[in-house]
Chain A
Amino acid sequence: MVYEPTRRTLLRSGAAIAALSSAPALIGRALAQDADLAPYKAAKIDWQQFKGEQITVAVIPASYFENLITLAPQFKELTGIDVRFEKIPPAQIRQKSVIDLTSKTGTYATHAADPMYFALYAANKWVEPLDTYLADKSLTDADWFKLDDVIPAWRSADSVGGKLYGMPYDGEVTIQVYRKDLFAAKGLKPAETLEQYMSNAAALNAPSDRVWGAALRGVAGAGQNMYIYPSIFREFGGDWMKGGKLTVNGPEAEAALAWYVDLMRKYAPTAAANWNWPDIADAFSQGTVASYIDAHSSASVINNPDKSKVIGKVAYARWPTGPGGKRTTSIWNWGFPINAALPDKKKKATWLFIQWAASAETQARTAHRFAGPAKRSGVNRSSIWRDPDYVKLMNGFGDNFVEATMQSLEQDTDVDWRPRVPQWPAIGDTMATAIQAALSGQATVKAALDDAQKRIEPMMRG
């Protein structure tokens, strides 16, 4: 989720250059694309063993995948394997890959997968556990690949029953984003607790000056309001699988949803009930929202010199703690699984592709060492997050960015923050609708949750 200036904006002289140089870290050095294959050849495997194979990879249109596509010729040179990329919008990539997997057509050797779908994939054996590939010495050089270096939170999110099914390629974590100038003017600090987050929002809320106190994703969707609400639910002490039974209408759920509704109704712009993250970031970049909690990667949008009015005024902090003293952030990553419907050789060729894409070298080449303007903020390697070059680049987004992101990823994640069951797609939608009904005032918090519980129970029996 990195700001990507177009050729036009880069060529535009004067004002644009001044604006760009005010955020120098975003531009980085103009590097020639590193095409040296030696760092890959250091791995003690035969990269060429599946020469001539062809695979199709489905990704979403996003700069972090564009960068990977740019480097694909290097993979071809390294392995002799042809990769054809297909870009599919995020909502449809789930549909299309599920259709492909159910019909066992093997169209997509791998695809950018939603971590919440792995329970469904694994239950149906649509994708293969990656451990066999990781353990096979002819396919993986463990010392070179360094699986442990891949952000553990994202790996657990892509695992089912302790087995890894998808290799994280790019990801995010939700953090508190705030306007340090507005906070300083009122003598406020970023919230340590949800209570403080509410009181900060109250203190900063001034709709008559077109500044609202806070905003959270409100729009209905398993990856929208049902991405943020589960964090609040868990912080209020909620447990999805209470006594082994999926429960969404307990007292913790009521308290959590009530907090969400309260914050949104009182201190967020009315329209935020229908906002997704790009809308929140757009509003924040125009100076109309004082704070929000959302993906760390939205930093690139609010630092986009083409449209942001708040560059230099942004700082970051971790999620506030809930009443139980716990922080639970929302995490996301796009992981690459291996389609089980493929012939054996293609599976292995696909693994070589996954290994290449997730390797530290490719991660660096698509991030701070990428020759183009788009630098990734969702690299999958802890080691890169400690690389001074990368840290310097990322800190251009504002105060405390790298610290907040890393601490959240290391300490605040909870892999069961959403109910990880094969029925997730339907459950996610049902919950999203219930949350929206409560946010919009169509139903009381209790009625909305009771209704969701009633709908979810038969799904779990099936």
Chain B
Amino acid sequence: MTGKRLRIIAVMAVSLIFLLAWAFPILWSVLNSLKTDQDVLAYPPKLLFAPTLDAYRDVLFGSSSILPNLVSSMIISVGTTIITMVMAVPAAYALARLRFRGKKAAGFYVLVTQMLPPVGIIIPYFMILRNIGWIDTYQGIILIYLSFSLPFAIWLLVSYFEDIPFEMEEAAYLDGASRMKTLWRIIIPQVRGGIAVTVVFVFLNAWNEFLFAVVLSGNTVRPVTVAMFNFVSVEQTLWTKLAAVSVLAMLPVIILGVVAQKHIVKGLTVGAVKGGGRR
């Protein structure tokens, strides 16, 4: 009994250390975002201080507001995610289920596109977009983002589709369902967890992307990752504003994560309870 309790305590302690290491930078950003420029430099660091929302007011409604950048990021990330999922779900299903010529090659090719280091293709991308006049446009950036989010999503989803027992599909066919209907009604609900995970990752990658964004964007379309950099100016680092922008930029991802969490957990437990795929 005591041995078990000791073990629990040890596990808790280790978890706490990890939790702290994970939570500290975030908590610190939140604290700094609520400080004044003076408090943020104070030593010893102030844990008790009069919180102010000035930094938030400045970055949201001040002269260099990041609201348009948050909107840009949202359009790019949501656009990328929707298009990716609409194309990746059928593609992954096909790769997992259908038998067709060149399937292996196609599957491998999808992976190959992920092997190029992004820096190596940034100049060609720039020139292509420039030539078709898509620099600094939403369609341009989303198109480029699709080039890495689609292969990633397909590969992630294939493994989820492969886990579903073929018998389930057969049962649907016997009841007279078409392939599309089966996919929509039977398969997709089963891989809900996988889809939720993929959505989160695709969204996250698009939301946090910086390298392509900085080169391919301009004044019209400028995601928040690029705009944030302007608070580390050559003149001074605007710590409180930088912290406030970081917190604001984290919010959509956190919200998405919380919403998706429900589906991820459910997706996993549904399979477990019914024993589907794990017989």
Residues of B within 8 A of A61 (CB): 64, 230, 233
| Structural contact, A107 and B235, CB atoms closer than 8 A | no
Additional A-B contact list (10), CB under 8 Å, known A61-B230, A92-B226, A282-B41: A6-B58, A7-B63, A84-B219, A88-B214, A92-B214, A103-B123, A107-B130, A286-B41, A288-B43, A306-B36
A-B contact pairs, 20 of them (CB 8 A): A8-B54, A60-B234, A61-B64, A61-B230, A61-B233, A63-B235, A90-B234, A91-B229, A92-B226, A96-B214, A103-B127, A107-B130, A107-B135, A278-B232, A281-B236, A282-B236, A285-B41, A286-B43, A288-B43, A307-B38
| Complexed CA–CA distance, A60 and B234 (Å) | 8
Q: Which residues of A contact B63 (CB under 8 A)?
A: 6-7
> Which partner residue on chain B sits nearest A283 by CB separation?
B41
In the bound complex, do residue A2 and residue B235 qualify as a contact, i.e. CB atoms below 8 Å apart? yes
Asked whether any CB of chain A lies closer than 8 Å to the CB of B30, the reply is: no
Question: Is A48's CB within 8 Å of the partner chain B?
Answer: no
Contact B235 A300 (CB under 8 A): yes
Q: In this assembly, does B218 line the interface, its C-beta being within 8 Å of a C-beta of chain A?
A: yes
What's the minimum C-beta distance from B72 to chain A, rounded to whole angstroms? 14
A91 to B214, CA, bound (A): 11
Which A88-134 residues have C-beta < 8 A from chain B? 88-92, 95-96, 99, 102-103, 105, 107
- B37 CB within 8 Å of chain A: yes
B171 to chain A, nearest CB (A): 55
**Cα distance, A86 to B136, chains bound together (Å):** 11
B165 CB to nearest A CB, Å: 50
Q: How many residues of A are counted as interface, with CB atoms below 8 angstroms from the partner's CB atoms?
A: 40
A60, A91, A92, A103: the one contacting B126 at CB < 8 Å is A103
Instruction: Indicate if the CB atoms of B130 and A103 lie closer than 8 Å.
Output: yes
- Give chain A's interface residues, CB within 8 Å of chain B: 1-2, 4, 6-8, 60-63, 84-92, 95-96, 99, 102-103, 105, 107, 210, 278-279, 281-282, 285-286, 288, 297, 300-301, 304, 306-307
B15 within 8 A of A: no
The bracket for how many chain B residues form the interface is: 20 to 34
User: Please, which residues of chain B bring their CB within 8 A of the CB of A63?
Assistant: 235
CA distance in complex: A291, B199 (Å): 52
Ranked 4 nearest A-B pairs via Cβ:
A89-B229, A61-B230, A1-B235, A307-B37
Q: B215 near A: Cβ within 8 Å?
A: yes
Complex Cα–Cα for A22 and B55 (A): 25
